[in-house]
Structure 1
């Protein structure tokens, strides 16, 4: 039995575009124009990946949510039909097993181990500490040289400090884990290079977990080591990989969002003024949702494989066929977001975005990311109202080859 979502035209074998697609020159904040065109033409189309496979691309917001919420599709990277992002990730799939690459029941079993630490109430308790970190980093910015690179001076230290506090990772090791993280999220990292970085970081975290078994503290890794390892519910290598996922994901995505969002606001002066001229937390919270929608920095499509025959866009997707769900274009769908290519910090429907995914695999850390971004966007532009780019926008280098989109450096002055 199949379940219909929408309807769309057929696609011939000669019409299969390569994916991912390049952005238009001079438009670093917008999705690739070909992706926008495909969304307008059909809800479901074939695309060609790096390895020659041709999965289905789901282009529209409603269909993307339906697929991501459907228990008949799998996120298991070991499934033979899974559409891998790169050769390196395909070759390392067995070594990168964490709950985000598993299906239920193992997915939910492991997710529940860490969910309490990212619950809304627990994260709200961190808000004052996050705000202090933001204020201290802005103090350092104001006391430091001009121009300065926002990425290295602010955007990267903030989430690194926060996730280190949550996990119990020594921040003084940030140069090491940031270096290995950059290798791991680079799409073009060779398998051997990425595997070496992965083993180096996992080994570091394994040794840290060993110390926490002997001398636990009030942090997530200590709790997991005590509750899961000593009871045999989890192996030490598995816990090290979970820690790696949380550490890398906990600082890389937020750091890129801070820098890219700041660039977006500086190139949209009317929207910059919305945050510069208010101290209303509700305005900052709404602005965060719109920036998450507008930018959706996790690019390259969320990947799935059908476990049963399902119908999407009038097309039957057979069991074993692969699906790519580029939520960055779903969040620019005019059926949900009027004038979707306009950045509007007062947009009412912005929270319908899928920047954190959707369904059972929605990003577990989204409450923490929201608190961090609300503190940043609710403070930075009020405290430095003359903030501006120190270079021409065309001189900036963007992370087109990464799994997470962003800017390498963002030179600013005031």
Structure 2
């Protein structure tokens, strides 16, 4: 068991003017800070294909952001409230809920909730379609909201009409038309995220062609990003921090890719890391607990499960369970300093918020050098957070 670090150890001073409020005009014109063997190098992102060795494999997240932020008027008092769709109710797949028609229940945050105690809120979406919302249950600071509509559209399509791009709260401006394209990656395919996997925002078709020409293969995966992914840790003691859960879609294609030889396994984004490392630990659970196995990983499982299971054993155990199908799994994996990466050997990511679990994940890969990296970025006018610049870290062995 490793010692839990203090969240305060991952604080740094981030001036507001360093936070990128809008994307650059060209995705791959962002800066790329490269960390390898304790050294830091400055590049531009379009140079990325020549920075990886031939035979490497890139794993990218093809989740798609849904228009998760809605505004509505409470009829009793004409107050405007904001409804932010967080996640599917426990036991349900967010990807499957997004495909449902006519009615769903979804866990939401409600801004201005004191103005909406009861009753139905109606939103006219088109001349023919009306969306009705009602509170089904209040639960731990969130609300289970019942959405009901006429017509034959899926829930994701309803959100496309009624909702707005869910830009994070540190981007202090209104959504504009460019955000509908630029807050999605070029890989976006499966609707289900309420925040973008932002490391992928720098990639272009031209950059991907460069990887292919340099003998670097790619593999898609899907992890639907939850609303808690970028938030700072509020608890003083990490043991009291409840890690948010996110949905993974597991297929044999991914296991087959992981079984192939690769000179370097590279994750595009912390969401891809979370998927790949969680997949290994689910394989460990499947191997040692075949009778009681569930597609669920707790935040501390990586610290308590056996540490000597090989990748091959883990992949075989999962392959036997899938039996040619696919599984919707939930992961709350928390990666902190002292964690040993089992799958990922390098990663592309953005610069993250102070005191966030994502900073801890970076520190797990490169140790205390994360401070050196972030200070270099601050001193050299790198842009931070979701619309900011990129990093390429080679994980310390």
Normalized per residue, the structure richer in strand is 2
Fold in common (TM above 0.5): no
Normalized per residue, the structure richer in helix is 1
